[in-house]
Amino acid sequence: MSQTPEIQCEVRGAAGVVVLDRPKALNALNLAMVRELARALDAWEKDSAVERVVVTSTSEKAFCAGGDIRTLHDLGKAGRHDEMLAFWGEEYILNARIQNYAKPYVALIDGIVMGGGVGISLHGSHRIAGERYLFAMPEVGIGFFPDVGATYALPRLPGAAGIYLALTGDRVGAADALALGLATHAVPSARMAELTDALTRRGALDDILAGFTHDPGQPALASERGLIADGFGAASLPEILARLEAAAAGGSAFAGKLRQTLAVKSPTSVAIAFEQMRRGAGLDFAEAMRTEFRIVSRIAHGHDFYEGVRAVVIDKDQAPHWRPAALDAVDPADIAAYFAPLGADELKLAS
């Protein structure tokens, strides 16, 4: 068993069980947690007694609400960019490890799953949504970008739903997650502990899961999927905005809300996220992670991330001063520079 109090990793019967246990921080990931999970995955892949990996949480509120953004902000403000990038580099390598893992990787997600939490769940083979499941990639609201493999995963969601989630940061529950493929199964919250126990016993994984799944009901976005597909399926950001404005003028309250949502996000982040989605559809997972490390290496030296964390997390005035302040002031050449290769500093993934 691991000795890291914020994450426990131990073999229980047929399963390597990971318990996220940093409830006061909503299980936000730090470097020690990333390293301990990576160590456990390496050990369990070679252990013939371990049939599957099961990842769960002690918190009723959150599976994992992201990375430890405040710590990363403080490192950057202190000029310790190498330490910031060491966290993101190891996190991204872990995301790729999970995506390529040789054994079933079962994430039991009953609560908030955002940012870094998405990175340690979405790329696994089985994503089990409880009734409290709440997914979002809200990074554009803090001057960041949807990372941890979102470059690969979100463009592959049906009906431009991933582009919608990346640009708006909107939250979706279990029923929508199941409909979009973010989750593979839905299970009642009251049965999650029982399911965890069942997964430690030997037997066919699909048969075990079949005994717990239920219908989570009608997806909240069902009536808006056509508008999302049309609006966010446009070939450029200005065209997305134009389509949303036209839909709002035609009486769509949902389109009007989306337009207002986009207006308050970091313009640079929204432009980066759109370009990510455009490029990501044609990248394999490894190249998507290298792309994200290129982006984060530039964001660490920029303005909007620090301003966004100040406004949302530190001062909580919800009044960030973005540079530039409007989407039409964003220079396409500046956005392209975020995606340029890093040379010797590229993310190094195992072959």
Contact 148, 178 (CB under 8 A): no
The dihedral through the CA atoms of 290, 88, 29, 42 has a sign that is: positive
**Which tokens hold the place of 40?**
């456990």
Which of 149, 178, 186 minimizes the C-alpha distance to 166? 149
Helices (H), 181-266: 192-199, 205-210, 225-232, 237-249, 253-264
Q: How far apart are the first and last CA of the chain?
A: 28
**Which tokens hold the place of 83?**
């330490």
**In which residue are the tokens 């318990």 written?**
19
Q: What is the DSSP letter of 171?
A: -
**Which tokens hold the place of 190?**
């009251």
The 10s digit of each residue's pLDDT in 220-266 is 999 999 999 999 999 999 999 999 999 999 999 999 999 999 999 99
**In which residue are the tokens 């190891």 written?**
90
Contact 152, 288 (CB under 8 A): yes
Catalytic sites, residue numbers? 67, 116, 139, 147
Sheet architecture: strand order including 7-12:
7-12, 15-20, 52-57, 105-109, 126-129, 185-186
What percent of the chain clears pLDDT 70, i.e. is strictly above it?
Answer: 99
Helices (H), the chain: 31-45, 69-77, 81-99, 116-119, 150-153, 161-168, 174-180, 192-199, 205-210, 225-232, 237-249, 253-264, 267-280, 285-299, 304-309, 332-338
Q: What is the DSSP letter of 172?
A: B
Q: What is the predicted pLDDT for the residue at 3?
A: 59
Which of 230, 123, 228 minimizes the C-alpha distance to 172? 228
**In which residue are the tokens 């065209």 written?**
239
Q: What is the predicted pLDDT for the residue at 1?
A: 60
Contact 27, 61 (CB under 8 A): no
What percent of the chain clears pLDDT 90, i.e. is strictly above it?
Answer: 97
The residue length of the chain stands at 351
Query: Using CA atoms, how far apart are residues 237 and 2, in angstroms rounded to an integer?
Result: 46
The 10s digit of each residue's pLDDT in 117-142 is 999 999 999 999 999 999 999 999 99
**Is residue 180 classed as helix, strand or coil in its secondary structure?**
helix
The yes-or-no verdict on residue 2 having pLDDT over 70 is no
The yes-or-no verdict on residue 8 having pLDDT over 70 is yes
Helix, strand, coil shares of the chain, percent, nearest 5, are 55, 10, 35
Whether pTM > 0.85 for this model: the answer is yes
The 10s digit of each residue's pLDDT in 171-227 is 999 999 999 999 999 999 999 999 999 999 999 999 999 999 999 999 999 999 999
> For the chain, which domains are there?
7-345 (3.90.226.10)
Torsional class of 128: left (φ above 0), alpha (ψ -120 to 50), beta (otherwise): beta
- Work out the pLDDT band at 5, boundaries 50, 70, 90: confident
